[in-house]
Homo-oligomer: A and B are copies of this chain.
Amino acid sequence: MTKYFIGLDVGGMSMKAGLVDENGKIICKDTCVTAPERPYAEVVKDMYELCRKTAEKGGVDFESVAGVGIGIPGTVNSEKGTVTYSGNLNFVKVGVLKEFAKHTRVKTFIGNDANCAALGEARFGSGGGKKNAILVTLGTGVGTGFILNDRILEGNDGAGAEGGHICIRINGEKCTCGERGCWEAYASATALIRQTERALEKYPDSIMHDIVKEMGKVSGRTAFLAYNKGDKAGAKVVKDYVKYVACGIINLVNVFRPDVIMIGGGVSHEGDYFVKMVEKIVRRHSFGGSNNKVPPVVRASLGNDAGIIGAAALAM
């Protein structure tokens, strides 16, 4: 008999649930608004209701599912089942699992949403079931999730896995976290846009100016589009950005030496050629060079479903 799980991916705007089988396949999904301005007990009750509804939508009695996994943005203590702090959900020291258990006897687990995505990608996505995998998300910031021996690296009180805040240039660019030189300040989409804006100022003849005019704004794609049209300034931006992304990945490889590195987030949609450019530098500059096994760098494959699938995987 197939075992079913519910994966719940909770965001500040909406929450998404999926009925997931033991192979990580989503049978059906459902969603509802989060409305985090309400008392937490109401939000948790809606989490439960959405899980129940999603199971029933898939023709499965909720109380018979093998487990529920909940992914939450913020600092999560999975062992205690508590959310230490979630700005998006307006949760401060909330015993989510205890509250959830008031509604059901189904075994339930909780984790940080980015860590869940890493677990989902590692087990059922681009990680191909590898036991040691790192997901790097290049978006507004740089997120990292670490799967070691098939388990999430959470850190004390859920405060670890902040690889985006590894300093790669002491006294460097200012980061949103208040420190200087963080990887995120060089390798996020936000950083790429900043680097593109500087290049636009410096190279008035670059075709990036035309691209910006056409698109109506500078974006994380501007430099890549110019690069692909043979623009020198665009190529310089791309080359430097790839080096920044690779630098942080090399740092992670030297410490973890995982089986695979997966790149997700907005910038990863640029395509496989971008990921290959990163991989080439990682392969050349990781510690020990070709004497050591260098993990492949691949593009994350689950997209927005990684959170649901990974949350479900928490319960497997």
CB distance A157 to B251 under 8 Å?
no
Interface stretch, picked from A32-40, A41-49, A254-262, is A254-262
User: Whose C-beta in chain B lies nearest to the C-beta of A255?
Assistant: B163
A159 and B288 contact, CB distance less than 8 A:
yes
Question: Would A258 and B155 count as touching, CB distance under 8 A?
Answer: yes
Contact indicator A291/B85 (Cβ below 8 Å): yes
Q: Are B170 and A256 interface neighbours, CB within 8 A?
A: no
**B295 near A156: Cβ-Cβ < 8 Å:** yes
In the complex the two chains form, is B157's CB within 8 Å of A254's CB? no
Q: Does A194 touch B at the CB level, under 8 Å? A: no
Quick check: B156 and A258 within 8 Å, CB to CB?
Answer: yes
Number of copies: 2
Q: Complex: how many Å from CA A256 to CA B75?
A: 14
**CB pair B170 A169 closer than 8 Å:** yes
Q: Is A274 an interface residue (CB 8 A)?
A: no
Query: Is B255 a contact partner of A159 (Cβ separation < 8 A)?
Result: no
Quick check: is A293 within 8 A (CB to CB) of the other chain? yes
Indicate if the CB atoms of B287 and A250 lie closer than 8 Å: no
Given contacts A168-B168, A170-B247, A251-B167, contact A155 B257 (CB under 8 A): yes
Establish whether residues A257 and B160, one from each chain, have CB atoms under 8 Å apart when the complex forms. yes
In the complex, chain A residues 199-224 whose Cβ is within 8 Å of any chain B Cβ: none
Chain B residues contacting A293 (CB-CB under 8 Å) are 156-157, 159
State whether A287 and B156 are in contact (beta carbons under 8 Å apart), knowing that A170-B247, A255-B255 are contacts in the complex.
no
CB-based contact A287/B165 at 8 Å = yes
Min CB–CB distance A306 → chain B (angstroms): 20
Q: Does A153 have its Cβ within 8 Å of any Cβ on chain B? A: yes
A144 to B285, CA, bound (A): 19
Q: Name the residue of chain B whose CB is nearest to the CB of A244.
A: B170
Which of B157, B257, B259, B289 contacts A292 (CB under 8 A)?
B157
- Cross-chain contact A166 with B291 (CB below 8 angstroms): no
List residues of A (227-247) whose CB comes within 8 Å of B's CBs. Answer: 243-244, 247
Nearest-CB distance from A210 to chain B (Å)? 31
Say yes or no: is A56 at the interface (Cβ < 8 Å to chain B): no
Residues of chain B with a CB closer than 8 A to A169's CB:
168-170
Whether A148 sits at the interface, judged by CB under 8 Å, is yes
A270 within 8 A of B: no
Residues of chain B with a CB closer than 8 A to A153's CB:
148, 255-256
A157 to chain B: which residues have CB within 8 Å?
Answer: 257, 292-293
- CB proximity to B under 8 Å, residues A120-173: 132, 144, 146, 148, 153-157, 159-163, 165-170, 172
Query: How far, in whole Å, are A293 and B172 apart by their CA atoms in the complex?
Result: 25
- Chain A 252-275 interface mask (CB, 8 Å, partner B; 1/0): 101111110000000000000000
Does A1 sit at the interface, judged by CB under 8 A?
A: no
Which partner residue on chain B sits nearest A258 by CB separation? B156
Q: Identify 14 residue pairs between A and B in the complex whose beta-carbon atoms are under 8 Å apart, listed by A's number.
A: A85-B291, A132-B156, A144-B255, A148-B153, A155-B258, A156-B295, A159-B292, A161-B255, A162-B254, A162-B288, A163-B255, A166-B251, A169-B169, A170-B186
